[in-house]
Amino acid sequence: MSRIDATDRRILAVLQREGRITNAELSERVNLSASACHRRVQRLEAEGIIAGYVALLDARRLGRPTTVFVEITLQGQADELLEAFERAVRRIPDVLECHLMAGTADYLLKVVAEDTEDFARIHRQHLARLPGVAQMQSSFALRKVVQTTALPV
């Protein structure tokens, strides 16, 4: 993997905010020729630094405004238990993120729901059936203060 220089960082910063920008516009913004800019973007993609392109959706407008963070502690730490839990949680469509944690909880899930009743359904149908769960604590987000997908470059 090659080193990321200041020009690469400028490219990445623009693409994180405007993923649909044309190569011509991008090259102008980062002060490169279109061909040099295109080569750099291709290299960043090939090296996996640019992992993909997505459309960011508005959960509120799609009727999923409720965000719930769920801390889960498992009954043990055996590899088989962790793997079974992770396989099961990947199949829950309402789970946006699942992180293996260091600290008091083993996993932290970010779940989206329509409202508290919908979260109760998600809990009953999915979360309560996850393998190896010893303890679960849910916290409802009241207001989003900061949200970004842009990494500092």
CATH number of 6-46: 1.10.10.10
- Low-confidence stretches of the chain (pLDDT beneath 70): 1
CATH T-level topology, domain 66-140: Alpha-Beta Plaits (3.30.70)
Domain ranges of the chain: 6-46, 66-140
What's the pLDDT at 11? Answer: 98
Helices (H) and strands (E) in the chain, counts: 5, 4
**Model pLDDT for residues 50-88, shown as the tens digit of each residue:** 999 999 999 999 999 999 999 999 999 999 999 999 999
Query: Can 6-46 and 66-140 be said to share one CATH topology?
Result: no
What's the pLDDT at 19? Answer: 95
∠ Cα 138 141 145 (to 5°): 150
What's the pLDDT at 1? Answer: 58
What is the maximum alpha-carbon separation in the chain? 57
